[in-house]
Amino acid sequence: MNERIIGPIAAAIVGVLLALGLIGLGMSLSAGFLKYRAQERTVEVKGLAEREVPANLAIWPISYTDTDNDLPALYARFEAHKAAIEAFLKEREFEPAEITFGPPTIVDRQAREYGEQNGKFRYLGKAVVTVYTPKVDEVRVAIGKLGDLGKQGVVVSGEGPGVQFVFDGLNSIKPVMIEQAVKNARESAGKFATDTASALGKVKRAAQGQFSIEDRDASTPHIKKVRVVSTIEYYLQD
């Protein structure tokens, strides 16, 4: 009789203990989950740094053309044009090492498959002189004086790429700009934390964007705008 009574009572006790254990385990897991979720409260912000810098390198191609019916005479005239351009650049204190003369390219119009019989001149020639120099301001002044070559009979062509102004000193300003971008990002995150009655915690994740270098505008290609954006995710704390 007692054994029959004790059996169900023991089972009931075991069941109650098991239930209490599961409840405790559930509460423990729940507390841990809530704690984990609290740690995962984050804010992602972007920090921008911009700076205007002057170009420190100019690449200036000067294209010139001429025509003739006599090929040797055309080559001779190109030599004269080359000498005129060389003197023009030397007068403006460009060094020989900064100047590269390309050979003329001559086209025989009558030798084409569909010969241009109506053209006044049989031969058409074009050559390019390239100035590669850090003298950016001197290049800008010289461009405005190209008309002086026209007065000497040198036909400067508007075809082909124009002058390029380049800034190649990015490594010298990278550290300061990255520091500024991170500072701006932290200020934004701090403002968000204050507005949400939170405290700003440690960095969870950070991504450094690529630097971009562009002309400030179409009118001033010799002035560059350098830009970088840092993306940073911070933890938020109560």
- Tens-digit pLDDT string for the chain (238 aa): 455 555 556 555 655 555 555 555 455 444 434 444 455 789 999 999 999 999 999 999 999 999 999 999 999 999 999 999 999 999 999 999 999 999 999 999 888 756 555 568 999 999 999 999 999 999 999 999 999 999 999 998 754 468 999 999 999 999 999 999 999 999 999 999 999 999 999 999 999 889 999 999 999 999 999 999 999 999 999 8
Domain assignment present for 11 = no
As to burial, measured by CB atoms within 10 angstroms (0-12 exposed, 13-18 middle, 19+ buried), residue 85 is buried
| Any domain includes 25 | no
Residues 158 and 72 both lie in one domain = yes
Residues 157 and 209 in one domain: no
For residues 137-163, b (16+ Cβ closer than 10 Å) or e, as one string? ebbbebeeeeeebeeeebeeeeeeeeb
Instruction: Give the pair of three-digit tokens for residue 188.
Output: 């934004």
Which residue type is seen at 124?
L
CATH code, domain with 180: 3.30.110.170
Domain holding 178, by residue range, is: 41-54+168-238
Count: domains in the chain: 2
CA distance linking residue 92 with residue 77, whole number of Å? 23
Residue 6 lies in a domain: no
CA distance linking residue 62 with residue 158, whole number of Å:
9
Same domain, 197 and 232: yes
The residue assigned the tokens 């405290």 is 199
Final residue of a structural domain among 166, 194, 220:
166
Residues 159 and 62 in one domain: yes
Instruction: Let me know whether 62 and 162 are in one domain.
Output: yes
Intra-chain end-to-end CA distance of the chain, in Å: 61
In a domain, 225, yes or no: yes
SS (H, E, C) 147-193: HHHHCCCCEEECCCCCCEEECCCHHHHHHHHHHHHHHHHHHHHHHHH
pTM of structure: 0.74
